[in-house]
Amino acid sequence: MSRTRISKERQDWKIDQEAMRFLKRAEELRKPGENMVEALIREAGSPAPIIGSSLRNYRHSYKRALKIVGSSNIDADFALLNEQLETRRALRREIGKRTSAKKHKDVTQKEAKATFIFLKASALKHESRTAMAAALFTCVMPHVALRPIELLTADVFGDEIRVMNAKAKPGQLRYRRISLKRFAPTFIEAVRWLCILTQSAVPDDPDLDAQKMIDAWYSRLAECLAYASEKAGGRRLAPYSFRHCGIATWKNSGFSQAEIAALAGHLNLDTANKHYAGASKGWRMGAAVALPVSSEPVVATADADAHQHHQQGSQQEHRVISETDENVLSAKPTMPLKQMDRVFEVEAMPRPIPANNLQKGKRAVQQSFEAKANAISEVVQRIARSGTTLPGHHYVDGAVASELDLGD
């Protein structure tokens, strides 16, 4: 199958997904006696602004939604709907740049440590789980670079994190695994506690609106990080600032595009280069020690129904908080923070060795041994040809002895 055809199928799948999302929201907003076309047009007038570059995608998805509900006059209905979209685009122009364009993508170790110290003090003083989670976030995310939403389904098994890709696309592995075997045990415990605290903040309750709870959790985390980083004497940092930091650090440490894509959960190898901070913004001194692990061959599907079913069941199927963890959470949530300062100590963090450098190192050692073996073989053959004998004390004449001196 050609790359162009795959790209077209992926685009159609995304349009279908967006169309279904708009229809679901229109159904929720639908008034008594109102048909779905009218509800969809009214839903398109949502107060949320639209940036100009995404308007084309919105138009495709809304037109697909009109076809799904069986509009009798798609052109006329779409003209009314498009007026709503144009109004929302005009609103974006008045607001200015989107927040992602204002995010700081060059978090320094000094900033992260100062923010962590402030949040740790707040967590210990007020016994605040939000402050505690935010403190652990500043420790963990610069090294594993998860999408914040992925913490809701992440879990730690031994020295690995298993993560469900939040933006899995057709043909992409649904899960990825990140090795933490070169981290200190304290850091691995910090990762585990961050997952526990995040998942406990968004209960898996069918009677509650999951999306609203997730949005509320993210808002609390973002505001907590922004406030603490500013109070600590730095800039207002966002959750995604730390993902940028982690990806930049992998670049700085010499990881390949394929390795970074595997670690970050990207399908396209160029995504990290196009949309994330460059290598010069990355950390040094043993910061990038996470390694990609081959994941199980479970891939995303272009089947919209299957994908929607997976999204609905993911939190229940992959909820990872055990009863033991819940019992621990009922105690004072300060225990893991007492040792977290060590995460920022260089001696507690092994210096990274990218996988490609590891292979080079193995080849160099092998070549060295082969060279020494060949040299020894040549000397032995000369001794055999010359008839030189080796007495019990293994004395060899000076010429032969110098040739056997092969170094350490």
Q: What is the mean pLDDT of each run of 10 residues along the chain (408 residues)?
A: 61 87 88 90 81 85 92 90 85 54 76 91 85 91 90 90 83 83 85 90 73 86 91 88 88 85 82 78 62 53 37 39 43 52 49 47 59 67 59 41 40
Residue 298's pLDDT is what? 39
What pLDDT is attached to residue 102? 57
Which pTM value belongs to this model?
0.56
What does the domain layout of the chain look like in residue ranges? 3-96, 103-353, 357-404
Candidates 1.10.443, 2.60.40, 1.10.3470, 3.30.200; correct CATH number of 103-353? 1.10.443
Nearest to 152 by CA among 208, 95, 109, 214: 214
Q: What letters, b where the CB count within 10 A reaches 16 and e where it falls short, cover 74-89?
A: eeebbeebbebbeebb
DSSP state of 153: T
pLDDT at residue number 128: 83
What count of Cα atoms within 13 Å lies in the side-chain half-sphere of residue 272? 28
- pLDDT recorded at residue 63: 92
Q: State residue 135's pLDDT score.
A: 92
pLDDT of residue 384: 65
The whole-angstrom separation of Cα 107 and Cα 357 is 26
- Residue 321 is predicted with a pLDDT of 41
CA nearest 94: which of 52, 42, 41, 43?
52
